[in-house]
Amino acid sequence: MTTHEVSNQAPPLVDYDLAHADPLLLGAVREGADWAIPKLIEFGRQLARAESYQWAADANRYPPQLRTHDRYGHRIDQVDFHPAWHQLMERAVVHGLHSLPWEGSTQPGGHLARAAFAFLDNQIEAGHLCPISMTYAVVPALAHNPDLAATWMPHILTRSYDPAFAPIEKKDGVLLGMGMTEKQGGSDVRASTSRAEPEADGYRIFGHKWFTSAPMNDAFLILAQAPGGLSCFLLPRHTPDGTVNEIRIMRLKDKLGNRSNASAELEFGGAFAQLVGEEGRGVANIIEMVNGTRLDCIIGSAALMRQAVSQAIHHCSHRKAFGSALIDKPAMINVLADLEIETEAAVLLMARVARAFDQSDDPREQSLRRLITPIAKFLVTKRCTEVVHEALECLGGNGYVEESIMPRLLRESPLNAIWEGSGNVIALDLLRAVRTHPDSVRILEEEVLGLDSRIDASARSSFALLSNLDDPEGEARLVTEKLGTILQAALMARSAAPTATDAFIGTRLEGGGGRLYGTLPQTKGLSAIVERAIPA
C-alpha cells in the first residue's frame, strides 16, 4: 500500500557526459593528445551508464574470495571474483588502460591520454585499476632485462583480458603486480629478509611479502636479497615448464576500502624468479615501476575528488530546502565552489605530471618530473579525503547510507596517500631529488614564475625556504605542500576561469578564508564556478 509520495529527491547521477563533467579535463588533454578527445567522450558515456555503476557496486559488495585448496585437498592458491569485477577489468583492458603509451603509436601524448582514460574509469570504480596500473607501470622496469621484455611484452600489449590461471604461453593477455614490503620493514624495503638463491636458469626465492597487490596476476616484480645485494626479480605464477610456481597466498587483506581488489600476504618456498637488471640495484630498478604507479595515485585521487564533487553538485541542483534549491543557498554555493576549485587544481596537476611522462626525450621535462611527481603525489592524495568527506556532507544523511556511492568513495579516498609511499616517504623523496638534481629547482621556478604577481611573491618565499631548511626532515612536508600549492596556482592561472583562479590564489596562497572548505571570503562569481561543473 502506498503511504506517501516520494518527492524532493535527487535522481541518480547516471547516463551523463562524464568527460565534460570536469570543466578542465578535455582542455588539458587538448594540450598534448587532442586525438584522444572523441574516444574519451565516448568512453565517458559508456562508463556513466547505470549498469556500469551497478558493476562497481556489486564488485565491492561481493569482494574476492581466496581458495587455498580444492575440494580434494590440493593446494591451488587462487582468488575468485564476482562477474562484475571481470566486466570492469575487460572494459579497462580493451581500452588500453594498461598498455596505451607502450603500443608504438605515432600519435603523441600516450601517457596524457591514458591518464584521462584512467581518470574517467576511476570515478566509477577504483579497485580494478590496481592491477591495470601495475601492468602499465611495469614496462619501464622490464626494459632492464631485454629477454624478459621479449617474452612478456607481446602479451601485455594485446588488449585482451584473459583471467585464466594458466602459463603465459596459453594466454592471450597478461597482467602483472608488485610486492615490495615485508612484515619487519614496511616502507624500509632495504630491510627485506627474502633471499634469492641463484641456479642455472634463474633464482629461487625464499621469504614473504606482507602486502602484494593483485595476487591473481600472472607475475610480480619483487625485491629479495641476492648474493650481490638487494635485487629486483620477476616472479611468475607459473614456471617456464608450465608448473605452478611455489607461491603461497596466505590470506587476503581485510581493507578499509578498495574492497573489490584483492591484496594478499604471500610466502615463497623456493619460488622460481628471474633477475631484472643487475644484482644489488633492486630499488633503482623497481623504482621505474613505482614512478608509474605514483602517477596513478595522483590520477585516482583526482578522480575520486571529481566524482564526489559532481555527486554533490548534482544533488544540490535537485534538492530543495527552505523554499529554493540547495545550490542557490549562499552557504552551500561557497562550499561547492571551494570544493570545485580544489578539484580543478588537482586535475590540472595530474595532467601536467602526465605530460612530463610523455616527454622522456626532453631533459628539461625529465628534470621537472623528478620534482612534480612526488609533489603531486603528496598534495593531491592528501587533499582527496578532505574533499570527498565534505562532498559527502553536502548530501547529508543520503550520502551516508550505502545505497549512495559516497561511502565507497570515502573509504577509497585514503588509499593513494598510503600506496607507493606515504606522506613522509614522498616528502623525503622530494628533498632527495632536490639534493641530487639541483637544476630541477631552477626549472620548477621557471614553470611557476611570471604568471601572476601573487604567485611570484609566494613562490620566492617558498623557494627561499627550500634553500634554507633548518631541519630538512622535519620541514619536508611543509615545503612539499607549499611547492605543490604554488604549482597548482600557476596551472590554474594558465587554464582555469579567472574567478576560480582568484579564489584559489586568495585562499591557498594569500591566506584568505578559513581552514575548512566553504570559507571562501569572496562571494561574487561563485555560482559561475559551480555552474560550469553541473553534470550534463
Given this model, what pLDDT does residue 500 score? 97
Strands, E, within 254-398: which ranges?
263-276, 320-321, 324-325
For the chain, 536 residues long, the average pLDDT of each consecutive 10-residue run is 86 97 98 97 98 98 97 96 98 98 94 98 98 97 95 97 97 95 89 96 97 94 97 97 97 97 97 97 93 97 98 97 95 98 98 97 96 98 98 97 96 96 95 95 97 97 93 96 98 98 97 94 92 94
> What is the rounded (10 degree) CA torsion for 417, 219, 161, 137?
40
Cell of 476: 619536508
Cell of 487: 604549482
80 strand-pairing partners:
65
Cell of 514: 578559513
Separation between Cα atoms, residue 488 and residue 505, nearest integer Å = 9
Cell of 255: 581493507
Question: Which of helix, strand or coil describes residue 207?
Answer: strand
Contact 172, 201 (CB under 8 A): no
- The CA distances from residue 16 to 46, 386, 510, in Å, are 9, 25, 37
248 strand-pairing partners:
267
Given this model, what pLDDT does residue 186 score? 84
Q: How far apart are the first and last CA of the chain?
A: 35
266 strand-pairing partners:
209, 249
For the chain, state the CA radius of gyration: 23
Q: How many CB atoms lie within 10 A of CB 435?
A: 9
- The CA distances from residue 526 to 328, 469, 497, in Å, are 11, 38, 11
Contact 282, 293 (CB under 8 A): no
Given this model, what pLDDT does residue 243 score? 96
Given this model, what pLDDT does residue 523 score? 82
Give the pTM. 0.97
Give residue limits of the domains in the chain. Answer: 25-170, 176-280, 287-531
Cell of 280: 644489488
Separation between Cα atoms, residue 366 and residue 172, nearest integer Å = 34
Q: How many CB atoms lie within 10 A of CB 354?
A: 29
Separation between Cα atoms, residue 319 and residue 355, nearest integer Å = 39
- For residue 250, the surrounding DSSP H or E stretch is strand 247-252
Given this model, what pLDDT does residue 461 score? 95
**Of 47, 58, 46, nearest to 85 (Cα)?**
58
Give every CB contact of residue 147 below 8 A, 6+ residues apart in sequence: none
Phi, psi at 512, each rounded to 5°: -75, 160
Cell of 168: 603465459
- The CA distances from residue 193 to 154, 186, 208, 209, 421, in Å, are 33, 12, 8, 10, 20
Give the single-character DSSP code of 101: G
Separation between Cα atoms, residue 63 and residue 43, nearest integer Å = 26
- The CA distances from residue 377 to 89, 292, 295, in Å, are 25, 11, 7
- Burial bucket for residue 516 (CB in 10 Å: 0-12, 13-18, 19+): exposed
Given this model, what pLDDT does residue 526 score? 96
Given this model, what pLDDT does residue 185 score? 83
CATH 1.10.540 fits 25-170, yes or no: yes
CA atoms within 13 A on the CB side of 211: 14
Separation between Cα atoms, residue 404 and residue 411, nearest integer Å = 13
Give every CB contact of residue 318 below 8 A, 6+ residues apart in sequence: 9, 10, 11, 325
Q: Helix 330-358 vs helix 110-124: angle between axes, to the nearest 10 degrees? A: 140
Under CATH, what is the fold of the domain 287-531?
Answer: Butyryl-CoA Dehydrogenase, subunit A; domain 3 (1.20.140)
- Class of 176-280 per CATH? mainly beta
Give the single-character DSSP code of 122: H
**Of 117, 47, 492, nearest to 296 (Cα)?**
117
Give every CB contact of residue 438 below 8 A, 6+ residues apart in sequence: none
Residue in the structure block whose three cell numbers are 617474452? 151
